[in-house]
Amino acid sequence: MGKIKWQAVFFDFDGVILDSVDVKTRAFAALFRQYGPEIEHAVVDYHLANGGVSRFEKFKYYYRHLLQKPITQEELDDLNREFTRLALEGVLAAPYIDGAMETLECLRQHKVPAFVVSGTPHEEMQFIVEHRNLTSYFHEVHGSPREKHEIVKDIASRYSYRLQDCLFVGDAMTDYDAAQACGTDFMGIYSGSNPPFPKGTMLLERVMITENRQ
């Protein structure tokens, strides 16, 4: 058996483990449909262009820049509850991204720890991982409100990982930026024709981590 070259692998979740980005897109659209098609389309465009950003930050942006009105904590909490109601059922039923389960199984066999580092609220992210029976694949599962780079650095510090020997797998610029801030390698998962990442980024259409047999 060959070896995996990384000490640990950090995974975003939506669009990397589960094919659940469209589920959340539909939830954002439904929440803001009452404000008309122009606002609804702008909400969707911003969501798709800012994958990995906390939904709370998106809600604040929508109110400030699209609706041009302040948002209270109570309104944020109400939006989050309704978003969760709209999206959770779809996320729990979403298919896996091609290669994700094979990759997680490969890492487990090689005893390379995997971690979830997501923009989804922390408790909700843990609930999803548990209910998809993925707990055994991940050493730890983390979500917002902590920033992704903070989570990665905290994990690396606690387990004495060398960040330059770790990998971050993501599908959005927030993931790339977290990897850059931490100094980890980065693998972008993207199947479209215009990837958001800088030229030269390691880019795959499916999740794939293989043994290093050299």
131-189 pLDDT per residue, tens: 999 999 999 999 999 999 999 999 999 999 999 999 999 999 999 999 999 999 999 99
Fold of 9-19+96-204: Rossmann fold (3.40.50)
pLDDT of residue 212: 61
Q: What is the CATH number of domain 21-93?
A: 1.10.150
% residues pLDDT > 90 (the chain): 85
pLDDT of residue 191: 80
Would you kindly state where each structural domain of the chain is located, as residue ranges? Answer: 9-19+96-204, 21-93
Strands (E), 25-163: 114-121, 140-144
pTM value > 0.85: yes
CB neighbour list of residue 52: distance below 8 Å, 6 or more residues apart: 12, 118, 119, 148, 170, 171, 172, 173, 174, 175
